[in-house]
Amino acid sequence: MKAVVPAAGIGKRLRPHTYTLPKALLYVAGKPIISHILDDVLALDPTSVILIIGYKAELVKSYVQEHYPKAPVEFVFQEERRGIGHAIHLTEAVASTGEPLLIILGDTIIKADLRAVIDVDCNVLGVKSVEDPRRFGVCEIDHGRITRVVEKPKDPPSNLALVGLYYLPDSPLLFECLKKQIEGDIQKLGEYQVTDALQMMIDRGAEFRPFSIEEWFDCGKKEALLETNRSLLEGRKDPPIIEGSIILPPVSLSPNAEIENSIIGPYVSIASHVVVRNSIIRDSVIDEGAAVKECLLDGSIVGSKAVIVGAFQSLNVGDSCEVNPK
């Protein structure tokens, strides 16, 4: 089995953080988004993981090579962001070997039994029931088989959203349909959608079945990133004991962080080399190398190497910024 992780997007809704970092490297629940995905995928022992990179590609490549030096990761560059279908099409030279293909989108975190997914003997799409499916790809099911998929429909055929998890034993047919889609310039919403290629596969007789996903975490904007942080931290107990400070679980605290005379938690992630002094922080994410002093932070995201001094409540501060009212 090969795995493909499209992670070339810009992440405009996560600015200011994505001015300096690609979305895949944003920190949540103790590690970057891409690490949550790679850790789950590599546990399946794939023959290779093909990472599609684009926006700030060198940062993603450097991070993966540093933290996963022995992993069988290959990189494919998507110069123009023209949709997920186009991104996957670009991997044909390295991914089209006839092996089953596992595709997981690089901007969401899915907690599921991936081993159970790849043990199914037909094509599988991860699905989840949502209140408003118009923002997602949607599938229609008949007698346990997926008969139709459509991207962001105005009139959804069901409330089953596609969560960005695709397992395709029929990978040669996928690449054949993607090629036909690109050559025929079949686009929707200005992009080559992978759902169009999947529908071509269905129309040609490929069997698709749904796999229900209970935990699907969107990381597309500040509020969603904080909700993902809360959900992934849930259940973590036994926080570290830090003399002079109070730690309220669940939290994720780097052992390299310096925390003095502060109250941390619940639902706080603090990365390495962060300095926190005389502060109260809850429901927040503090990225690597930031400094937080004499603050009350709630529902905040603080970027790498940012410096925050003074009494605030909710902040969304990018990398290397300084906030000091004095």
**Which tens digit of pLDDT belongs to each residue from 6-57?**
998 887 777 877 788 888 899 899 899 999 999 999 999 999 999 999 989 8
Give the residue with greater pLDDT, 281 vs 12: 281
Q: What is the pLDDT of residue 103?
A: 96
Q: What is the pLDDT of residue 203?
A: 93
Q: What is the pLDDT of residue 19?
A: 82
Q: What is the pLDDT of residue 202?
A: 94
Does the pLDDT of residue 324 top 60, yes or no? no
Q: What is the pLDDT of residue 156?
A: 82
Q: How confident is the model at residue 189 (pLDDT cuts 50, 70, 90)?
A: confident
> What are the pLDDT digits (tens) for 129-187?
888 888 788 888 888 889 998 888 888 888 888 988 999 999 999 999 999 999 988 88
Does the pLDDT of residue 326 top 70, yes or no? no
Domains observed in the chain: 2-225 (3.90.550.10), 235-323 (2.160.10.10)
Whole-model pTM: value is 0.88
If you average pLDDT over residues 195-209, what whole number do you get? 93
Angstrom distance (rounded) from CA 231 to CA 75? 30
Q: What is the pLDDT of residue 320?
A: 53
